[in-house]
A and B are shown apart, each in its own frame.
Chain A
Amino acid sequence: MAIFGPRANLFMNVALLAAAGGVTFLLILIWVVPVMGYNSQERYTPRQPVPFSHKHHVSGLGLDCRYCHTTVEISQNAGIPPIHTCMTCHSQIWTNAEMLAPVRQSLAEGKPLRWTRVYTLPDYVYFDHSIHIAKGVGCTECHGPIGDMPLTRKATTLYMSWCLSCHRDPAPHLRPKDQVFNPHWQRTADTPSGKELMAEYHIHPETLSDCGVCHR
């Protein structure tokens, strides 16, 4: 009796092809999945306890970023405002709005609101808001058109390649110091060139992509 039937070759070929196809598929997955928004969570817009609108407060009312994010110029963290900051206005206006009930409750109970973090960096990444502000990187470079967002969303991938794209070539992302907090700033003919701004801020990209700059 023959060891193998007449279709043995067919089975073998199909198995080999399937193995090759499987490996190819796996390689494609490794390539494609990371660049998908599903993986990077770009446009991630979490539900918040109060549907706070940057569009209304910043573009509509003209509040400065630093009115709420008070430590952005001096600290790693931009800072989430205490409930009293909200109450500077909301103790006077919209005092009975249903939407703001959690804010009033927070003040009454002395418990901070639990906002959901939108921008998360891993612990092994050292990031400092103040140095970026000091060197003329505008808020919108990383936070996107934050002044036009009715609900705060993640505007970038936060991938290391994204960080490096600016650390290796900062010039196009710089602006004059007085425009850093302007959410609608556009480069005009009078704006100093990126090169001039780099010189002004003493930015040296040749060391900006050293490992130890962000991984300390």
Chain B
Amino acid sequence: MNLIDLPGDAPVIEPGVTLRSLSEEVSDRVLRPQAPRWWWIGFGISLALFLTLVVATAWLFVNGIGVWGVDIPVAWGFAIAEYVWWIALASGGTIVSALFYLTRSPWRSATNRIAETMMLSAAASAGIMPIMHLGRQGFFYWLFPYPNVMDVWPQVRSPLWWDFICLLCYILMSIMFYYTGLLPDLATVRDQAQHRRKQMFYGILALGWRGSARHWRNYQSVYFIMCAIMAPMVISVHSVVGLDFAGGLTTGWHSTQFPPYFFFGAVISGLALVIMLTIVVRHGYGFQGIITAYHLNAMGKIMLTGSLMLGYSYVWEAWGPIYANSIADRTAFLDTIFGTYAPTYWARVTLNIIIPQLLWLPIVRRSEILLFLISAGIIVGMWLERFDIVIPNLARDWMPSYWGVYYPTLWDWATLAGSIGLFLSLFFLMMRFLPMVSISEVREIIAKGETK
């Protein structure tokens, strides 16, 4: 195989992979008694970062959000930017998993489990952010419309509350979706397990799955319906996150383009993280035969599409303030691109729009190193974009007397590092104890001879 071959011609599954070898290989990664050294190193670093989160959260709970850099006028800081960042990454997992199930894309079958694992881990990191951001974290349950003696009720006209409901439904649905997809594989792992304790553990998780024709018929209709719900749901979830901003009258936020703008960001950043994790799992677990150049090529193309869609939103983001007759909007935008926070703007344009154009070249889509680097750049670029949406606009509100500058504190950075630690810790744990490739779906591809 040489580099001039178009990656699109690569087989979906390498010819050497058989039904038996697939089940044994994927189950072995879960069942083997000793995790490989790279897993322990990765998990150790993740856990250390997670401990940073524990400390940062404890410090925050004891002292209040004054330990962060947020203040008037920039009352939304890292926590909100990172909430949007994480939920976009989670949404990207759902897009890979649910949207491309409906399109019957063959590359989805070997990567959807990685995407879903990423989705759950990222959703956990996203979920803690708004709660940490509350001034009184202990009262977060006031977001629920529960019967109470205070006669207070959530403000249902607020997009922030829609966001809470959306996120809650999304996380619950994601867990169920993940678990449903996992069921047949858990049964496979149970059958492959040699030790009684592992047989019991995976047997209970498999909920008595026997693989009868009736099981499969019910399973497939349930899974299809779940995908059909998840695909529009993920679009609505991230659109409502956009409405959190569009619903406010702040300069630069009050724009009708925000819902699709945010969704486009989810496509590109989610795909970028899936590509990075896929490359890690592929090499770490020796899945080169199951996850091939075909998969990376397909995901690279979608990431490029996401980059183009996001570029379109960037054009509108600039066009709106210039075209509209609002001095405040224009001032805020000019300040975003030339003011205090100008480096973040130009960095995000470079990382999200300009560099990903390399993906037009097939040779780039074949190179795992380049894919990994471009994806990492996009993840950073998307973080900068969230920062750029939240902070410079608040810093340049309508009244010049209301202007200010935001500087993150050590605890802001610790929270960022900690949320990455939470994400990675969860991902590493799931990677160790649950199959990272959907055995049943890849078996289907092999059995039907669609490996090309």
Most buried by B among A3, A12, A30, A35: A3
From B146, B150, B196, contact of A30 by CB (8 A): B146
Chain A residues whose CB sits within 8 angstroms of the CB of B196 once the complex forms: 3
> What's the Cα separation between A34 and B207 when bound, in Å?
38
Which residue of B is nearest A164, CB measured?
Answer: B151
Min CB distance, B151 to chain A, in Å? 4
Given known pairs A3-B190, A3-B196, the reply for A160 and B203 (CB within 8 Å) is: no
From A3, A4, A9, A161, contact of B149 by CB (8 A): A161
Q: Is A31 a contact partner of B151 (Cβ separation < 8 A)?
A: no
> What's the Cα separation between A161 and B153 when bound, in Å?
11
- Tell me whether B218 is interfacial, beta carbon within 8 Å: no
Q: Is A161 a contact partner of B150 (Cβ separation < 8 A)?
A: yes
Q: Is A4 a contact partner of B150 (Cβ separation < 8 A)?
A: no
B10-35 CB contact bits vs A (8 Å, 1 = yes)?
00000000000000000000000000
Given known pairs A3-B190, A30-B146, the reply for A160 and B200 (CB within 8 Å) is: no
Chain A residues whose CB sits within 8 angstroms of the CB of B207 once the complex forms: 12
Q: Is B148 a contact partner of A34 (Cβ separation < 8 A)?
A: yes
Min CB distance, A161 to chain B, in Å? 4
Q: From DSSP, what is the main secondary structure of chain A's interface residues?
A: helix
- Tell me whether B147 is interfacial, beta carbon within 8 Å: yes
Given known pairs A3-B190, A3-B203, A9-B208, the reply for A160 and B146 (CB within 8 Å) is: no
> What's the Cα separation between A31 and B146 when bound, in Å?
8
> What's the Cα separation between A161 and B150 when bound, in Å?
5
Chain B residues whose CB sits within 8 angstroms of the CB of A165 once the complex forms: 151
Q: Is B203 a contact partner of A34 (Cβ separation < 8 A)?
A: no
B188-217 CB contact bits vs A (8 Å, 1 = yes)?
001000001001100110011000000000
- Tell me whether B152 is interfacial, beta carbon within 8 Å: yes
Min CB distance, A86 to chain B, in Å? 37
Q: Is B151 a contact partner of A4 (Cβ separation < 8 A)?
A: no
Q: Is A31 a contact partner of B147 (Cβ separation < 8 A)?
A: yes
> What's the Cα separation between A140 and B152 when bound, in Å?
26
Chain B residues whose CB sits within 8 angstroms of the CB of A160 once the complex forms: 149-152
> What's the Cα separation between A144 and B406 when bound, in Å?
53
Chain A residues whose CB sits within 8 angstroms of the CB of B148 once the complex forms: 34, 161
Min CB distance, A70 to chain B, in Å? 33
> What's the Cα separation between A3 and B203 when bound, in Å?
8
Which residue of A is nearest B150, CB measured?
Answer: A160
Chain B residues whose CB sits within 8 angstroms of the CB of A159 once the complex forms: 149-151
Which residue of B is nearest A9, CB measured?
Answer: B208
Q: From DSSP, what is the main secondary structure of chain B's interface residues?
A: loop
Which residue of A is nearest B191, CB measured?
Answer: A3
Chain B interfacial residues counted at CB < 8 A? 15
Most buried by A among B147, B151, B196, B203: B151
Chain B residues whose CB sits within 8 angstroms of the CB of A4 once the complex forms: 200, 203
Chain A residues whose CB sits within 8 angstroms of the CB of B146 once the complex forms: 30-31
> What's the Cα separation between A159 and B199 when bound, in Å?
54
Chain A residues whose CB sits within 8 angstroms of the CB of B208 once the complex forms: 9, 12
Chain A residues whose CB sits within 8 angstroms of the CB of B199 once the complex forms: 3
- Tell me whether A152 is interfacial, beta carbon within 8 Å: no
Q: Is A161 a contact partner of B151 (Cβ separation < 8 A)?
A: yes
Min CB distance, B352 to chain A, in Å? 41
Min CB distance, A211 to chain B, in Å? 9
> What's the Cα separation between A31 and B148 when bound, in Å?
7
Mark out the residues of chain B between 289 and 303 whose CB falls within 8 Å of any chain A CB in the assembled complex: none
Mark out the residues of chain B between 134 and 190 whose CB falls within 8 Å of any chain A CB in the assembled complex: 146-152, 190
Which residue of A is nearest B141, CB measured?
Answer: A30
Q: Is B151 a contact partner of A34 (Cβ separation < 8 A)?
A: no
> What's the Cα separation between A3 and B151 when bound, in Å?
53
Chain B residues whose CB sits within 8 angstroms of the CB of A40 once the complex forms: 149
Which residue of A is nearest B152, CB measured?
Answer: A160
> What's the Cα separation between A184 and B148 when bound, in Å?
33
> What's the Cα separation between A85 and B199 when bound, in Å?
81
Chain A residues whose CB sits within 8 angstroms of the CB of B151 once the complex forms: 159-161, 164-165
A14-31 CB contact bits vs B (8 Å, 1 = yes)?
000000000000000011
Chain B residues whose CB sits within 8 angstroms of the CB of A157 once the complex forms: 149
> What's the Cα separation between A34 and B146 when bound, in Å?
12
Q: Is B190 a contact partner of A34 (Cβ separation < 8 A)?
A: no
Give B contacts to A, CB under 8 Å. Answer: 146-152, 190, 196, 199-200, 203-204, 207-208
> Given known contacts A3-B200, A31-B146, what 4 new A-B pairs fall within 8 Å (CB)?
A3-B196, A30-B146, A34-B149, A40-B149
Can you list 21 contacts pairing A with B, beta carbon distance less than 8 Å? A3-B196, A3-B199, A3-B200, A3-B203, A4-B200, A4-B203, A9-B208, A12-B204, A12-B207, A12-B208, A31-B147, A34-B148, A35-B149, A40-B149, A159-B149, A159-B150, A159-B151, A160-B150, A160-B151, A160-B152, A161-B150
Give A contacts to B, CB under 8 Å. Answer: 3-4, 9, 12, 30-31, 34-35, 40, 157, 159-161, 164-165
Those 3 A-B pairs whose CB atoms lie nearest each other, nearest first: A161-B151, A160-B150, A159-B149
